[in-house]
Protein backbone atom coordinates (compact mmCIF):
# COMPACT_ATOMS: atom_id res chain seq x y z
CA UNK A 1 0.00 0.00 0.00
CA UNK A 2 1.13 3.54 -0.70
CA UNK A 3 2.60 5.51 2.19
CA UNK A 4 1.52 9.04 2.90
CA UNK A 5 3.42 11.69 4.83
CA UNK A 6 2.42 15.06 6.25
CA UNK A 7 4.46 17.70 8.11
CA UNK A 8 3.46 20.37 10.59
CA UNK A 9 2.20 21.24 14.00
CA UNK A 10 1.37 18.90 16.84
CA UNK A 11 -0.71 20.59 19.56
CA UNK A 12 -2.92 19.85 22.47
CA UNK A 13 -6.34 21.41 22.43
CA UNK A 14 -7.93 22.64 25.65
CA UNK A 15 -11.56 23.72 25.49
CA UNK A 16 -13.83 25.94 27.49
CA UNK A 17 -16.50 23.69 28.98
CA UNK A 18 -19.46 26.01 28.38
CA UNK A 19 -20.63 27.65 25.15
CA UNK A 20 -20.17 31.42 25.35
CA UNK A 21 -17.51 31.11 28.06
CA UNK A 22 -14.90 33.90 27.91
CA UNK A 23 -11.15 33.47 28.37
CA UNK A 24 -11.08 36.89 30.05
CA UNK A 25 -12.37 35.25 33.22
CA UNK A 26 -11.49 31.99 34.98
CA UNK A 27 -13.70 29.04 34.12
CA UNK A 28 -13.79 25.27 33.70
CA UNK A 29 -11.74 23.70 30.88
CA UNK A 30 -11.65 20.23 29.29
CA UNK A 31 -8.67 18.51 27.74
CA UNK A 32 -5.85 18.20 26.88
CA UNK A 33 -6.89 16.53 23.62
CA UNK A 34 -4.28 15.50 21.04
CA UNK A 35 -4.52 17.86 18.06
CA UNK A 36 -2.89 19.76 15.21
CA UNK A 37 -4.29 19.42 11.67
CA UNK A 38 -1.37 17.31 10.33
CA UNK A 39 -1.57 14.98 13.37
CA UNK A 40 -5.33 14.55 12.96
CA UNK A 41 -4.84 13.80 9.25
CA UNK A 42 -2.11 11.20 9.82
CA UNK A 43 -3.94 9.55 12.73
CA UNK A 44 -7.12 9.12 10.66
CA UNK A 45 -5.20 7.70 7.67
CA UNK A 46 -3.38 5.23 9.94
CA UNK A 47 -6.68 4.14 11.58
CA UNK A 48 -7.97 3.31 8.09
CA UNK A 49 -4.96 1.04 7.61
CA UNK A 50 -2.97 3.37 5.34
CA UNK A 51 0.79 3.50 5.98
CA UNK A 52 1.18 7.09 7.24
CA UNK A 53 3.90 9.13 8.95
CA UNK A 54 4.30 12.61 10.40
CA UNK A 55 7.21 15.07 10.39
CA UNK A 56 6.74 17.21 13.51
CA UNK A 57 8.29 18.47 16.75
CA UNK A 58 7.07 18.36 20.35
CA UNK A 59 8.50 19.27 23.75
CA UNK A 60 9.63 16.61 26.21
CA UNK A 61 6.43 17.07 28.22
CA UNK A 62 3.13 15.30 28.88
CA UNK A 63 1.38 17.15 26.01
CA UNK A 64 3.97 15.89 23.54
CA UNK A 65 3.89 12.34 24.86
CA UNK A 66 0.07 12.29 24.82
CA UNK A 67 0.21 12.97 21.07
CA UNK A 68 3.04 10.57 20.31
CA UNK A 69 1.34 7.74 22.22
CA UNK A 70 -2.01 8.32 20.45
CA UNK A 71 -0.35 8.32 17.02
CA UNK A 72 1.69 5.22 17.89
CA UNK A 73 -1.38 3.37 19.23
CA UNK A 74 -3.32 4.15 16.04
CA UNK A 75 -0.54 2.74 13.85
CA UNK A 76 1.15 5.91 12.56
CA UNK A 77 4.87 6.11 11.82
CA UNK A 78 6.24 8.44 14.54
CA UNK A 79 9.93 8.05 13.61
CA UNK A 80 10.18 11.67 12.35
CA UNK A 81 8.60 13.33 15.39
CA UNK A 82 11.44 15.07 17.21
CA UNK A 83 11.25 15.52 21.00
CA UNK A 84 12.94 18.76 22.13
CA UNK A 85 14.26 19.20 25.67
CA UNK A 86 13.54 22.66 27.01
CA UNK A 87 10.73 23.54 24.60
CA UNK A 88 7.01 23.18 25.32
CA UNK A 89 4.55 21.37 23.05
CA UNK A 90 2.18 23.65 21.12
CA UNK A 91 -1.25 24.49 22.54
CA UNK A 92 -4.60 25.78 21.33
CA UNK A 93 -7.23 27.00 23.80
CA UNK A 94 -10.69 27.18 22.24
CA UNK A 95 -13.97 28.66 23.29
CA UNK A 96 -17.21 28.44 21.31
CA UNK A 97 -19.34 31.57 20.96
CA UNK A 98 -23.14 31.33 21.18
CA UNK A 99 -23.38 31.83 17.36
CA UNK A 100 -21.22 28.71 16.75
CA UNK A 101 -18.03 30.61 15.87
CA UNK A 102 -14.77 29.68 17.56
CA UNK A 103 -12.26 31.85 19.40
CA UNK A 104 -8.66 30.60 19.72
CA UNK A 105 -5.63 31.34 21.89
CA UNK A 106 -2.72 29.64 20.13
CA UNK A 107 0.88 28.98 21.03
CA UNK A 108 2.31 27.34 17.90
CA UNK A 109 5.10 29.34 16.31
CA UNK A 110 6.90 29.96 19.64
CA UNK A 111 6.38 26.36 20.81
CA UNK A 112 8.27 23.18 19.94
CA UNK A 113 6.09 23.06 16.78
CA UNK A 114 8.17 25.99 15.45
CA UNK A 115 11.34 23.85 15.70
CA UNK A 116 10.29 21.45 12.93
CA UNK A 117 13.15 20.73 10.50
CA UNK A 118 14.34 18.39 7.76
CA UNK A 119 16.50 16.14 9.92
CA UNK A 120 17.82 12.67 9.12
CA UNK A 121 14.60 11.00 10.37
CA UNK A 122 12.42 13.25 8.20
CA UNK A 123 14.56 12.50 5.16
CA UNK A 124 14.37 8.76 5.88
CA UNK A 125 10.57 8.92 6.20
CA UNK A 126 10.28 10.81 2.90
CA UNK A 127 12.58 8.29 1.18
CA UNK A 128 9.80 5.74 1.64
CA UNK A 129 6.83 8.04 0.90
CA UNK A 130 4.49 7.87 -2.11
CA UNK A 131 2.30 10.83 -1.25
CA UNK A 132 2.70 14.16 0.58
CA UNK A 133 -0.23 16.11 2.07
CA UNK A 134 0.08 19.87 2.60
CA UNK A 135 -2.00 21.79 5.16
CA UNK A 136 -2.34 25.53 4.57
CA UNK A 137 -2.42 26.14 8.34
CA UNK A 138 1.01 24.54 8.69
CA UNK A 139 2.74 27.06 6.42
CA UNK A 140 3.14 29.51 9.33
CA UNK A 141 6.88 30.24 9.05
CA UNK A 142 9.68 30.09 6.43
CA UNK A 143 11.06 26.99 8.21
CA UNK A 144 7.86 24.98 7.86
CA UNK A 145 7.35 26.18 4.29
CA UNK A 146 10.83 24.80 3.57
CA UNK A 147 9.90 21.42 5.09
CA UNK A 148 6.76 21.30 2.93
CA UNK A 149 8.79 22.15 -0.21
CA UNK A 150 11.24 19.36 0.64
CA UNK A 151 8.39 16.92 1.18
CA UNK A 152 6.72 17.78 -2.11
CA UNK A 153 9.98 17.58 -4.05
CA UNK A 154 10.96 14.26 -2.45
CA UNK A 155 7.70 12.48 -3.35
CA UNK A 156 7.52 14.03 -6.83
CA UNK A 157 11.08 12.84 -7.57
CA UNK A 158 9.88 9.32 -6.78
CA UNK A 159 6.86 9.68 -9.09
CA UNK A 160 4.51 10.24 -6.14
CA UNK A 161 1.53 12.54 -5.66
CA UNK A 162 0.53 15.59 -3.58
CA UNK A 163 -2.70 16.70 -1.93
CA UNK A 164 -3.45 20.15 -0.54
CA UNK A 165 -6.03 21.35 2.00
CA UNK A 166 -5.74 25.16 1.91
CA UNK A 167 -7.51 25.65 5.27
CA UNK A 168 -6.43 29.24 5.05
CA UNK A 169 -7.82 32.54 6.20
CA UNK A 170 -7.56 35.39 3.69
CA UNK A 171 -5.37 37.40 6.16
CA UNK A 172 -2.75 34.64 6.04
CA UNK A 173 -2.20 35.37 2.32
CA UNK A 174 -0.32 38.52 3.27
CA UNK A 175 2.26 36.77 5.47
CA UNK A 176 5.80 37.03 3.98
CA UNK A 177 6.45 34.32 1.40
CA UNK A 178 2.92 32.91 1.68
CA UNK A 179 1.59 33.66 -1.81
CA UNK A 180 4.72 32.22 -3.45
CA UNK A 181 4.53 29.14 -1.24
CA UNK A 182 0.85 28.57 -2.05
CA UNK A 183 1.44 28.96 -5.78
CA UNK A 184 4.31 26.50 -5.61
CA UNK A 185 2.15 24.00 -3.70
CA UNK A 186 -0.75 24.41 -6.14
CA UNK A 187 1.53 23.87 -9.14
CA UNK A 188 2.44 20.44 -7.68
CA UNK A 189 -1.01 19.48 -6.37
CA UNK A 190 -2.86 16.40 -7.66
CA UNK A 191 -5.78 16.43 -5.19
CA UNK A 192 -7.13 19.80 -3.99
CA UNK A 193 -9.44 19.75 -0.94
CA UNK A 194 -10.83 23.23 -0.17
CA UNK A 195 -13.74 23.70 2.20
CA UNK A 196 -16.60 25.84 0.90
CA UNK A 197 -15.42 29.34 -0.12
CA UNK A 198 -11.70 28.42 0.03
CA UNK A 199 -12.21 27.12 -3.54
CA UNK A 200 -12.41 30.73 -4.74
CA UNK A 201 -9.13 31.86 -3.11
CA UNK A 202 -7.14 30.87 -6.21
CA UNK A 203 -9.80 31.19 -8.94
CA UNK A 204 -11.32 34.04 -10.94
CA UNK A 205 -14.72 32.38 -11.44
CA UNK A 206 -17.40 33.13 -8.88
CA UNK A 207 -19.43 29.93 -9.36
CA UNK A 208 -18.33 26.60 -7.91
CA UNK A 209 -18.24 24.61 -11.12
CA UNK A 210 -16.32 27.36 -12.97
CA UNK A 211 -13.78 27.70 -10.15
CA UNK A 212 -13.32 23.92 -9.95
CA UNK A 213 -12.76 23.79 -13.72
CA UNK A 214 -10.09 26.52 -13.45
CA UNK A 215 -8.28 24.43 -10.85
CA UNK A 216 -8.45 21.36 -13.12
CA UNK A 217 -7.10 23.45 -16.01
CA UNK A 218 -4.05 24.24 -13.87
CA UNK A 219 -3.17 20.54 -13.96
CA UNK A 220 -4.83 19.43 -10.71
CA UNK A 221 -6.50 16.07 -11.40
CA UNK A 222 -9.12 16.01 -8.62
CA UNK A 223 -10.95 18.78 -6.74
CA UNK A 224 -13.08 17.89 -3.71
CA UNK A 225 -15.10 20.68 -2.08
CA UNK A 226 -15.99 19.96 1.57
CA UNK A 227 -19.37 21.29 2.68
CA UNK A 228 -19.83 20.48 6.34
CA UNK A 229 -23.12 18.70 7.13
CA UNK A 230 -24.03 18.75 3.41
CA UNK A 231 -21.17 16.41 2.51
CA UNK A 232 -18.87 17.06 -0.44
CA UNK A 233 -18.65 17.56 -4.20
CA UNK A 234 -16.01 15.92 -6.42
CA UNK A 235 -14.80 17.34 -9.75
CA UNK A 236 -12.47 15.78 -12.28
CA UNK A 237 -12.16 15.69 -16.09
CA UNK A 238 -15.15 13.36 -16.30
CA UNK A 239 -17.52 15.68 -14.40
CA UNK A 240 -19.17 16.41 -11.05
CA UNK A 241 -20.28 13.98 -8.34
CA UNK A 242 -22.09 15.21 -5.21
CA UNK A 243 -22.13 13.01 -2.12
CA UNK A 244 -24.47 13.84 0.79
CA UNK A 245 -23.29 14.06 4.39
CA UNK A 246 -24.47 11.67 7.09
CA UNK A 247 -26.99 12.91 9.62
CA UNK A 248 -25.34 13.16 13.07
CA UNK A 249 -25.49 15.35 16.18
CA UNK A 250 -22.61 17.81 15.87
CA UNK A 251 -20.81 18.06 19.22
CA UNK A 252 -17.49 19.54 18.07
CA UNK A 253 -16.70 20.37 14.40
CA UNK A 254 -12.92 20.79 14.82
CA UNK A 255 -10.95 18.20 12.86
CA UNK A 256 -13.75 17.04 10.54
CA UNK A 257 -12.01 18.48 7.48
CA UNK A 258 -8.74 16.72 8.33
CA UNK A 259 -10.45 13.36 8.91
CA UNK A 260 -12.39 13.77 5.66
CA UNK A 261 -9.22 14.62 3.70
CA UNK A 262 -7.26 11.70 5.20
CA UNK A 263 -9.99 9.24 4.27
CA UNK A 264 -10.49 10.61 0.77
CA UNK A 265 -6.75 10.64 -0.01
CA UNK A 266 -6.25 7.12 1.44
CA UNK A 267 -8.98 5.68 -0.78
CA UNK A 268 -7.83 7.71 -3.79
CA UNK A 269 -4.33 6.24 -3.30
CA UNK A 270 -5.88 2.75 -3.22
CA UNK A 271 -7.34 3.44 -6.68
CA UNK A 272 -10.96 3.43 -5.43
CA UNK A 273 -13.53 5.37 -7.47
CA UNK A 274 -14.80 8.77 -6.27
CA UNK A 275 -18.18 7.46 -5.03
CA UNK A 276 -16.62 5.04 -2.56
CA UNK A 277 -13.83 7.47 -1.54
CA UNK A 278 -16.42 10.22 -0.88
CA UNK A 279 -18.69 7.91 1.11
CA UNK A 280 -15.88 6.76 3.42
CA UNK A 281 -14.64 10.35 3.75
CA UNK A 282 -18.11 11.70 4.58
CA UNK A 283 -18.46 8.88 7.11
CA UNK A 284 -15.15 9.76 8.80
CA UNK A 285 -15.99 13.50 8.77
CA UNK A 286 -19.41 12.85 10.33
CA UNK A 287 -18.01 10.56 13.05
CA UNK A 288 -15.33 13.17 13.81
CA UNK A 289 -17.93 15.79 14.82
CA UNK A 290 -19.78 13.47 17.22
CA UNK A 291 -17.09 13.67 19.94
CA UNK A 292 -15.51 16.51 21.89
CA UNK A 293 -11.82 16.72 20.88
CA UNK A 294 -10.50 16.74 17.30
CA UNK A 295 -9.09 13.19 17.33
CA UNK A 296 -11.61 11.50 19.64
CA UNK A 297 -14.07 10.65 16.84
CA UNK A 298 -11.47 9.05 14.57
CA UNK A 299 -12.78 5.69 13.36
CA UNK A 300 -11.22 2.52 11.98
CA UNK A 301 -12.34 1.23 8.58
CA UNK A 302 -14.56 -1.41 10.23
CA UNK A 303 -16.18 1.26 12.45
CA UNK A 304 -16.84 3.68 9.59
CA UNK A 305 -18.27 0.88 7.41
CA UNK A 306 -20.61 -0.19 10.22
CA UNK A 307 -21.66 3.46 10.71
CA UNK A 308 -22.37 3.90 6.97
CA UNK A 309 -24.41 0.69 6.85
CA UNK A 310 -26.79 1.92 9.56
CA UNK A 311 -26.89 5.66 8.75
CA UNK A 312 -29.21 8.03 6.99
CA UNK A 313 -27.80 10.62 4.55
CA UNK A 314 -29.00 14.20 4.07
CA UNK A 315 -29.69 16.03 0.79
CA UNK A 316 -26.75 16.01 -1.68
CA UNK A 317 -24.54 19.12 -1.67
P1 LIG B 1 -12.20 21.97 9.77
O2 LIG B 1 -12.97 22.67 10.84
O3 LIG B 1 -11.59 20.69 10.25
O4 LIG B 1 -11.23 22.85 9.03
P5 LIG B 1 -13.46 21.95 7.20
O6 LIG B 1 -14.06 23.32 7.15
O7 LIG B 1 -12.18 21.75 6.46
O8 LIG B 1 -13.31 21.50 8.72
P9 LIG B 1 -16.04 20.73 6.78
O10 LIG B 1 -16.62 20.93 5.44
O11 LIG B 1 -16.59 21.50 7.92
O12 LIG B 1 -14.47 20.88 6.64
O13 LIG B 1 -16.17 19.19 7.17
C14 LIG B 1 -15.50 18.19 6.43
C15 LIG B 1 -16.41 17.01 6.20
O16 LIG B 1 -16.83 16.46 7.47
C17 LIG B 1 -17.70 17.35 5.45
O18 LIG B 1 -17.48 17.33 4.05
C19 LIG B 1 -18.61 16.21 5.94
O20 LIG B 1 -18.30 15.02 5.27
C21 LIG B 1 -18.18 16.05 7.40
N22 LIG B 1 -18.97 16.88 8.32
C23 LIG B 1 -18.63 18.06 8.87
N24 LIG B 1 -19.61 18.55 9.66
C25 LIG B 1 -20.61 17.64 9.62
C26 LIG B 1 -21.91 17.54 10.23
N27 LIG B 1 -22.37 18.49 11.05
N28 LIG B 1 -22.67 16.46 9.94
C29 LIG B 1 -22.23 15.49 9.13
N30 LIG B 1 -21.02 15.52 8.52
C31 LIG B 1 -20.22 16.57 8.76
MG1 LIG C 1 -10.81 23.09 6.70
The tens digit of pLDDT for each residue in 84-109 reads 999 999 999 999 888 888 889 999 99
Q: Is the pLDDT of residue 47 over 80?
A: yes
Phi/psi region, residue 86 (left: phi>0; alpha: psi -120 to 50; beta: rest), is left
Segment 210-224 shows an average pLDDT of 97
pLDDT number for residue 189: 98
CA of 238 to the centre of ligand 1 (A): 25
pLDDT number for residue 207: 96
Atom of ligand 1 nearest to the CA of 227: 10
Q: Is the pLDDT of residue 42 over 90?
A: yes
Question: What ipTM score was computed for the predicted complex, to two decimals?
Answer: 0.97
pLDDT number for residue 133: 98
The residue nearest atom 30 of ligand 1, judged by CA position, is 286
pLDDT number for residue 167: 87
- Give the closest ligand to the alpha carbon of residue 224: 1
| Ligand 1 and 286: CB distance under 6 A | yes
120-176: per-residue pLDDT in tens? 999 999 999 999 999 998 888 888 899 999 999 999 999 999 999 998 877 777 877
CA of 120 to the centre of ligand 2 (A): 31
> If you average pLDDT over every residue of the chain, what do you get?
95
pLDDT number for residue 315: 75
In the chain, % of residues over pLDDT 70:
100
pLDDT number for residue 174: 81
269-298: per-residue pLDDT in tens? 999 999 999 999 999 999 999 999 999 999
- From 255, 256, 258, 308, give the residue whose CB has the most ligand 1 atoms within 8 Å, as the site to mutate: 256
Segment 189-201 shows an average pLDDT of 94
Question: Under 8 Å CB-to-CB from 4, ≥6 apart: which residues?
Answer: 42, 45, 50, 51, 52, 53, 129, 130, 131, 132, 133, 265, 266, 269
Atom of ligand 1 nearest to the CA of 165: 7
pLDDT number for residue 175: 79
CA of 194 to the centre of ligand 2 (A): 7
Q: What CA–CA distance (Å, rounded) separates 164 from 210?
A: 19
pLDDT number for residue 312: 82
Q: How confident is the model at residue 180 (pLDDT cuts 50, 70, 90)?
A: confident
pLDDT number for residue 221: 97
CA of 126 to the centre of ligand 2 (A): 25
CA of 84 to the centre of ligand 1 (A): 33
CATH superfamily to which 4-309 belongs: Ribokinase (3.40.1190.20)
Atom of ligand 1 nearest to the CA of 37: 3
Contact assessment for residue 287 and residue 303, using Cβ atoms and an 8 Å cutoff: yes
Atom of ligand 1 nearest to the CA of 317: 18
CA of 260 to the centre of ligand 2 (A): 10
Amino acid sequence: MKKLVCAGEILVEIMAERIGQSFRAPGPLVGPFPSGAPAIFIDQAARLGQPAGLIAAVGDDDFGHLNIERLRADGADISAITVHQGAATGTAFITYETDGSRHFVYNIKQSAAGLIEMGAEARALLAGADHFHVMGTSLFSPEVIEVARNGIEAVKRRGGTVSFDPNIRKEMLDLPGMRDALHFVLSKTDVFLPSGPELFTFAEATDEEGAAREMLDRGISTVVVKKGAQGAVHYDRSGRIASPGFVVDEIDPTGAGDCFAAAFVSFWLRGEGPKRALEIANGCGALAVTKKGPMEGIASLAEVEAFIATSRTGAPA
